[in-house]
Structure 1
Amino acid sequence: MLCIYKIVTLFKIRITIIRKEKFLKGLPKYELYKELDGKDEISKYSSFCSYLRTQNNRYEGINELCYIFAKNLITLPEILKNEPDYKERCRYITFWIHDQIRKKYSIQVNSKDEGNNIIRKFYVVLNKIYGERKHNNCFYAYQSDSNMNIWKQWKDLYDFIKNYDAIKESLTSNPELCKIYPTYLSYIEGIYKNYKTECCSNNGTTCPFTTEFRDWCNNSEFLNSLTCNATEDITRDFRNEATLAGSIQELGIRGPISATDLQSEHYYGTHGEMLMNKSDYYIKLAVGFSLLSIFSTVFFLYKFTTFGTWMRSKVLKQKINVNLDEDSQNLIEHELNNVDKNIYNDGYNITYNAS
């Protein structure tokens, strides 16, 4: 059952990613990330990455990623010339590099030590460029409590808010997007609730840009209801059950995002009735077929093979009694309660220094 739960969780993660991309793909502000992927003349910046020359065997492609990162930092005003605000440009490149690390080294960053090891390497490069005054206005102070899952959540919130007006326009012209918008918004609501906790007070430890990321603490207009068409008004409110995992610290402790982290896959229609999202249908269908397949296989083996004959003979000959003492039972419960928990948290403090 645990295996099936993990399959369902991964399926929900994939559904959420697909939905997010449907809304953001092609939007001008979201497409700015592609400008940071350019590889033209990156070898000119290799001197800033000498620290990583021996690491390519361990982390495939890390040298090339470092060259691109160095080029982006030094020529950022030119590369992101369509974004006039230097603070926004810094946010773009900061989210970009963490997302690149998360995607390219997904296995390694699941380990707290490995993830921190990779991030520290790029921090050294950043310090070197910053120290040489290579037209770089972006600087962040590294902290060891890092978690790439949390960085992804912050990026998703940032992308939603930055592209909110364009998303709103697309809803009026695309009925298909209108249908899946409630689930997407519910996902963003959960992240925003954590944002309020982490970034709008002095107690948070994982806010990515410290005081420079409080723009939306007193402004949540992007969570207001949106009208998809003349007859359908999508309304949403904060619901306790629609959070990612309580607090962002809990997210970090639990590690990989669980099914509840991705929010409920249901939403309410204009008359209050609950409508089942298509992804729930397919998930339940997949689980049903999986269980049916397992049951059918076991039944066939039991009834029509020598395995079944052997099993029946064993059952008839002896009766197995399994007794668990109290200590053993408590141990099992303890282990089950601690399945899939990874203890790591994320946090960065970002400082911007104007030219």
Structure 2
Amino acid sequence: GSYFYQFYQELDKLYENEEKSETCKTDLFSGVDDPDVIKFLIKISGILKRLLNKEISVKNAEKLEDKHCIYLRYWIYDKLIKLGFDRYDVNMSFHFLKKNKKGCISFTSSEKPCNFYKLSLKDIYNMKNLYDYSELLFKGDMNVYDKISEDSKYLDYFKNGLNLYKSSKTRCPTDTKNEYCYEFNEYEKIHTKHKAKLPSFSCREKLLSSLYKKETNLNGELSQDGKSYNTIDPDLYKLLDNIIDTKHLYKFYGLLEKHNGKYNTTNCDTLKDYPIKENAICELMGRVEDIFKIWDNTYVTYGQLTPSETCNYLNYWLHDKLSHIDANPCDIEIFYILWHKYTMDKSKNKNKCYNEKYYGFNKEELENKKKLFDFLIYYKIIKDKIKEPKNENKNDYCQYIKVMFELYKKMEQKNISYSYAEELKLFRNNFSSNRELYYLEENCPDMCLGFVFNKKFKTLCPFEENNTTELAKINLNQCENLESSKVPGQVDKNNEEGYNFGTLPTATVYNELNGNITTNTFYNICSQLIPYDKNHCGIYNLCTKLVRNLKKLSTMEKEERKDRCEYITHWLYHEIWKNTNIISENIYENVALREFFNVAFEVLRKLDITDCFFNTMNINFYEEKEKKYLHDYFKSHKKINDGNICKDEECKKYCKYILFINDLYRKYINKCCYCFKSEGCMEIYPSYFKCNDIYKPHKLFEKLQCSKLEGFRDKIRNVDTPVPEDHYVKMLTEISVKEPHLLNWGNKKPSIIPEVVYNKKTSDPFYTFAIGSLGFLGVFLILFILYKFTPLGSYFNNRDARKKRSYFENFEQEFLEDDVEFNHGNTQNRRMRIAYRQL
């Protein structure tokens, strides 16, 4: 077996045979209470002594001596895990090892002792796995990778190890000071010495991973001719005809395409032991050498670009070249090694250019990195195009932006090994501003662009699928041809038609909320309503509009968010009420409506909207409609009051509208306003009623001079403000000031009732108290006897029990039936109680 395995087995034997050393002092274990921990530490101390004195019997022990400490720590971590030590035991063990790293006995060995670092349980697992996988990978034979790749568990094991190695590299720069990084950096220094036999960890492991995913092959054949005719991202290339290229990226790529490299065997002599596409890699390296011959004079400041920008452009151009020759991870890694070696050893350019942040990319990662980079370079130009009012390609630009946002989410999910760290950072720098995302939401609606940084969503649009299912299409088509059922619930059409003023701000908002979904996307969260759409035509469509509106609400803040929530609430009740297909004849058995509200609350939960909910218990749609009228009146008051809107016949419509509102105002003012004499009125329901006197309808009636119009003279009555709650207290206070003698108890008028001469003995307070107490006890005794020894007590007892049981049973039943907000379980047989009234 391997030397590592032999070393591990020898440590196991020492551990099993190690007896308690007579020279170990018991005071070394002060503070350690667990006898198992003490026994473990005694054995480890003896093993440390033997290791440092070179008393191990492994063959060829002189090999890889610099790894002895790593092997020992790996073995100790394995023991800590197997022994099941908790966090406290682990901490005590590390404390002891750091303090006594030479063992219990002092000795004269010149061997450098092994350092121990205080790690958490999670770090112990990570470091052990890192040691384990890297040692096996180091000794692996790349020629048998095809056979290894057939075992998915084996590949997953190596993949996890690589991700851990790369994340540790990012977590632990050389200047980071913590226990985990101390140990990792020590390991990394030792590992670097042995890279002569292994170009890098990532080359081997990623080759295994790509073989398992069938992404590449090892036979050295190209999957295509290796040429990419459109170096720019194809989706972006389609839009470039309409874009003025001020960034010079496309032209720069074009210049690089003109360089033809020559196959140079001297540069590739070191690659013969690796299964790579030698001809393709060496040819690409020849093109790079040809480019660098004129780099300083031609490319460094091309098009007024900076040297760092032109170097980045070259890097991403090479990403495209490597992906088009079907390069596997080893191909890619070897190419970057050659490029770095050439730049450092042979290039005479003043401006050095190479990839300093290479982490061992695969083909998919190279493609994604380049696509996102190209998009970020051209985004500002695309944004300017979207601003153009008559741009026919606006939808194409928006679709392209959405595709790139989806790519960002995908890259973010797969950035475990930090392969996309640079591109993700550039993306966040461009779009982290809420203002930028708000602009995109306004100009590219219904595309979920505002959710790009939402960590809860793994995809950009959490409620969307690309296409509707065939079953959905069939059901929705049937819905389009379904006639409205003859059921109650429709809105008063006279009021609806007469009071729908398109010039008011409320109309603009409702038109937006009720607008059709402009994209071809399918909201999968609403799909559970499709079976109901056949008999309740429109319920699915209403659900999609609600999802769209709530998505936009989730991006709003403060007053704008509060205002939009009020609109959505009133709009939703209104749309449900006026749709005769949603409100069924037996409204108390409306399963579809109950399911609709279940979906609504699920959307609210997913969007983290906790400040905008709908009442779903005992809904009175008639009252909700009245509340909407009041809400809209107060929102439109300023426009009606300030604007010059009263013209001819239109003025009569407004006057009629104000009369209608005045009746509602009178009906609701006492319920909605809690007034005080000096401090005004407190608004109990500010979402649909304002208590300030400036909103009184009769004032607006006078402002529009409705009394001068025929048919409106003396039609309106002023609505009084509710009586202040402190009215009577204030009144008594004023009276007491004007007539203070009423509070003077000394000024008594003669009584018309003659005084009664009383007995002095009965007037004694002691007798009064004694008589009262005895009387109370007597009454209590009689009631106790009646309750305990007569049927009267049983009657009251059973009656209370029945009342209590009935109350709680009714309450529980009502809660289970109506509380859709918190119940998301099976709703097939649950009832919903909705009160309504025919208008």
Q: TM-score, normalised by structure 1?
A: 0.51
1:102 counterpart = 2:565: no
Report the counterpart of residue 565 of structure 2 in structure 1: 90
Which amino acid is the alignment partner of residue 132 of structure 1? K
Report the counterpart of residue 616 of structure 2 in structure 1: 142
Tell whether the 8 Å contact from 2:631 to 2:688 is kept in structure 1 after alignment. Answer: no
Tell whether the 8 Å contact from 2:630 to 2:688 is kept in structure 1 after alignment. Answer: no
Tell whether the 8 Å contact from 2:627 to 2:688 is kept in structure 1 after alignment. Answer: no
Which amino acid is the alignment partner of residue 665 of structure 2? Y
1:228 counterpart = 2:704: yes
Tell whether the 8 Å contact from 1:70 to 1:129 is kept in structure 2 after alignment. Answer: yes
Q: Post-superposition shift, 1:229? A: 5.7
Aligned-pair Cα RMSD in Å: 3.9
Q: Post-superposition shift, 1:59? A: 0.6
Unpaired runs of 5+ residues, structure 1, are: 1-12, 202-208, 241-342, 347-355
Q: Post-superposition shift, 1:163? A: 0.8
How far apart, in 1, do the equivalents of 2:672 and 2:576 lie?
Answer: 23
Equivalent residues in 2 for 1:1-355, closer than 5 Å:
13-21=492-500, 24-38=501-515, 39-41=517-519, 43-44=521-522, 46-76=523-553, 85-105=560-580, 108=583, 111-113=586-588, 117-134=591-608, 137-143=611-617, 145-169=618-642, 173-200=646-673, 211-213=685-687, 215-219=689-693, 221-223=695-697, 224=699, 225-228=701-704, 232=708, 236-238=716-718, 345=835
Tell whether the 8 Å contact from 1:109 to 1:148 is kept in structure 2 after alignment. Answer: no
Q: 1:197 to 1:111 in 2, by over 3 A?
A: farther
Q: Post-superposition shift, 1:111? A: 5.0
Q: TM-score, normalised by structure 2?
A: 0.23
Q: 1:110 to 1:34 in 2, by over 3 A?
A: farther
Which amino acid is the alignment partner of residue 542 of structure 2? L
Which amino acid is the alignment partner of residue 497 of structure 2? I
Tell whether the 8 Å contact from 2:499 to 2:653 is kept in structure 1 after alignment. Answer: no
SS at match of 2:613: strand
Report the counterpart of residue 339 of structure 1 in structure 2: none
How far apart, in 2, do the equivalents of 1:48 and 1:119 lie?
Answer: 15
How far apart, in 1, do the equivalents of 2:706 and 2:550 lie?
Answer: 46
How far apart, in 1, do the equivalents of 2:692 and 2:650 lie?
Answer: 28
How far apart, in 1, do the equivalents of 2:520 and 2:568 lie?
Answer: 16
Q: 1:64 to 1:136 in 2, by over 3 A?
A: farther
Higher-Rg structure is: 2
Which amino acid is the alignment partner of residue 635 of structure 2? K
SS at match of 2:537: coil
Tell whether the 8 Å contact from 1:56 to 1:62 is kept in structure 2 after alignment. Answer: yes
How far apart, in 1, do the equivalents of 2:688 and 2:505 lie?
Answer: 24
Q: 1:87 to 1:107 in 2, by over 3 A?
A: closer
Task: Work out the number of aligned pairs and report it.
Answer: 220
Which amino acid is the alignment partner of residue 104 of structure 1? N
Instruction: Return 154-163 or 216-225, whichever deviates more.
Output: 216-225
Which amino acid is the alignment partner of residue 578 of structure 2? K
Q: 1:108 to 1:87 in 2, by over 3 A?
A: same
How far apart, in 2, do the equivalents of 1:160 and 1:166 lie?
Answer: 10
Unpaired runs of 5+ residues, structure 2, are: 1-491, 675-682, 721-832
SS at match of 1:194: helix
Q: 1:199 to 1:118 in 2, by over 3 A?
A: farther
Which amino acid is the alignment partner of residue 660 of structure 2? Y
Q: 1:42 to 1:137 in 2, by over 3 A?
A: farther
Q: Post-superposition shift, 1:67? A: 1.5
SS at match of 1:138: coil
Q: Show CA shifts across 1:125-160 (max 9, x none).
A: 2221222235574223421x2232222111111112
Which amino acid is the alignment partner of residue 43 of structure 1? T
Tell whether the 8 Å contact from 2:551 to 2:607 is kept in structure 1 after alignment. Answer: no
Q: 1:139 to 1:227 in 2, by over 3 A?
A: closer
How far apart, in 1, do the equivalents of 2:567 and 2:626 lie?
Answer: 14
Q: Post-superposition shift, 1:87? A: 1.4
Q: Show CA shifts across 1:196-240 (max 9, x none).
A: 244347xxxxxxx97553751354524114333699487732489
Tell whether the 8 Å contact from 2:538 to 2:581 is kept in structure 1 after alignment. Answer: no
> Which structure's relative contact order is higher, taking Cα pairs within 8 Å and 6+ residues apart?
1
Which amino acid is the alignment partner of residue 68 of structure 1? K
Q: Post-superposition shift, 1:56? A: 1.3
How far apart, in 2, do the equivalents of 1:120 and 1:142 lie?
Answer: 8
Tell whether the 8 Å contact from 2:630 to 2:689 is kept in structure 1 after alignment. Answer: no
SS at match of 2:614: strand
Q: Post-superposition shift, 1:187? A: 1.1
How far apart, in 1, do the equivalents of 2:650 and 2:659 lie?
Answer: 14
Q: 1:63 to 1:229 in 2, by over 3 A?
A: closer
How far apart, in 2, do the equivalents of 1:136 and 1:184 lie?
Answer: 35
Q: Post-superposition shift, 1:25? A: 1.2
Report the counterpart of residue 358 of structure 2 in structure 1: none
How far apart, in 2, do the equivalents of 1:211 and 1:176 lie?
Answer: 34
